[in-house]
Amino acid sequence: MAGKDVVQLYYTAPYTEAGIEKAHVNLGAFAKTNLLQPGESEVVTLQLVAQDMASFDWNDANDNGFRGYELEAGDYVLSIRSNAHDEIASITRTIPSDIQCTTDYTTGAEIRPLFGGDEGLEDYKSTNDTLENNLMSRGSGLELPAPLNREERTWSQVEVDELDSQKTFFSCDDTEEDPWYVSQVPSTWTQNKGERDEDGKTAIQLADLMGLSYTEPTVVGGVATAATDEGTQKWDEYMNQLTWEELTTIVSYGGFGQPGVETIGKKQNGAYDAAAHPFWNGGMFGGAQPPEDQMGTNWVTPAVWGCTWNVDLLRQIGVMTGNEALFFNVNGLYGFSTNIHRSPFGGRNFEYLSEDGLLSGKLLAALCKACTEKGLVTYTKHFMMNNQETNRNTNGGVMTWATEQAIREIYAKPYEIAVKEGNNSAFMTAFNRIGKSTCSDNYALLELLTRGEWGFCGHNVTDYMDYAEYRY
């Protein structure tokens, strides 16, 4: 019988007991064959970069004074497998000495620990004593830690008050100690500058900026300096025309789209909330509406997509989703969903692609790239580590604890690939916290990791739910 197969490339890195934690086998690359007739064969080429086999040493487990991605010296076994357990063929390559990977080979940005509680980043620490003292290890046979009793799981009132204080955030509360603090904007920035016609329209309209790049200002000591390239200067000239009311209209209304501001040439845009069934709830919310009684294609759930291992199939779904967005005059999709199948009890597992970060990322990148080429903004979600629905947003969000190694090698990996390979240009942040810091205003996550390391230059929208504590 004719059929397709998946060629899977795995790697096994050298492991030292009590050293950097590593899985025995890790997925490195994969490809789906064409439809093969009985007895027919096909040559499939798989590639991976050596740095992709590096492990993130979050706590200097190998005691060499370095925390970050490392390729430890030793034998690396590359194997073709039919699954993670059954090997078909393998080769061994040896790295003679340790290699410390301090630079992102895609963006050229520096890689440094962000969630370990380093100086200036204490608020974004992703582990606590309970986690660090109860880690499962391959070296100890993955023995499960003893469950904590009720007393051990109860936080003090001081700690509860600290979390409650984070329920709201106002930029006016920023201080000079905050790494994002800006005390002085560029001197070239103004408001309500330039000529307008008799209808109040600005001389430069949004459409005039199509295709022009923009470079963010540099901030040193709280003082922001604007870039001087031609594209940025044109964008600044456009923004200088806007009134305070026009500026606040753009940033203050973000639920399922934004209102139009005709005076500056900005049209109304709509975004719809769906993981795999775009526009199924199109008539429920604000923003641009599709034609009455019409909805997009109801695909099978993303968990089924993940089982296909078929990048090209997901690309085709992305193309069709983008086409439907054009038909419905929709600019954004609150999707695709891409957290990890960490537990069978995950309340949104049906929306997520798989339990593997690489597989999820490659499929997600195909979806995002195809949609983006049609002009549809994909708000990949729920960014990130949304692993439970119960209490996910209670009192500012459930706390999710994980080592930075787990974050980078598993949970953040799909989003990273979507940005670097899929041109993903937006995120929907999750309700939960990473450690004690809420995802929606996590500086380490949204600025240092995504923009600083991955080169992300899009925008974020917070998640939404009609709970009284979020009506601010």
pLDDT confidence of residue 145 = 87
User: Order of strands across the sheet with 55-57?
Assistant: 55-57, 68-71, 99-101
Helix axes 413-422, 357-373, angle to 10 degrees: 30
Nearest Cα to Cα of residue 7 among 47, 39, 51, 52: 47
pLDDT confidence of residue 472 = 42
With residue 78 as reference, give the H or E element that holds it.
strand 74-81
Measure the CA–CA gap between 429 and 439, rounded to whole angstroms.
Answer: 6
Measure the CA–CA gap between 91 and 23, rounded to whole angstroms.
Answer: 18
pLDDT confidence of residue 284 = 43
What amino acid occupies position 14? P
pLDDT confidence of residue 175 = 86
pLDDT confidence of residue 61 = 96
Q: What is the DSSP string of 207-256?
A: GGGTT----PPEEETTEEE---SHHHHHHHHHHTT--HHHHHHHHH--TT
Q: Residue for token digits 């204490």?
A: 122
pLDDT confidence of residue 70 = 97
User: Among residues of the chain, what percentage have pLDDT more than 70?
Assistant: 94
pLDDT confidence of residue 140 = 85
pLDDT confidence of residue 312 = 97
Each residue of 342-381: pLDDT tens digit? 988 888 899 999 999 999 999 999 999 999 999 999 999 9
Each residue of 286-307: pLDDT tens digit? 444 445 556 778 889 999 999 9
What amino acid occupies position 252? S
Return the ∠ at Cα 472 (arms to 241 and 391), rounded to 5°. 130
Contact (Cβ atoms closer than 8 angstroms) between residue 224 and residue 182: yes
pLDDT confidence of residue 313 = 97
All residue ranges of the chain with pLDDT < 70 are: 277-294, 465-472
Measure the CA–CA gap between 321 and 277, rounded to whole angstroms.
Answer: 9
Nearest Cα to Cα of residue 11 among 80, 69, 100: 80
Contact (Cβ atoms closer than 8 angstroms) between residue 196 and residue 264: no
Tally the C-alpha atoms within 13 A of residue 452's C-alpha that lie toward its C-beta. Answer: 15
Measure the CA–CA gap between 277 and 299, rounded to whole angstroms.
Answer: 6
Q: What is the DSSP string of 99-154?
A: EEE-B-TTT--B----SS--TT-GGG----HHHHTT---GGGTSPPPPPP-TTTTP
> Can you tell me whether residue 156 is helix, strand or coil?
coil
pLDDT confidence of residue 170 = 79
List, in order, residues 6 or more apart from 426 with CB less than 8 Å away. 332, 377, 378, 379, 380, 458, 459, 460, 461
List, in order, residues 6 or more apart from 171 with CB less than 8 Å away. none
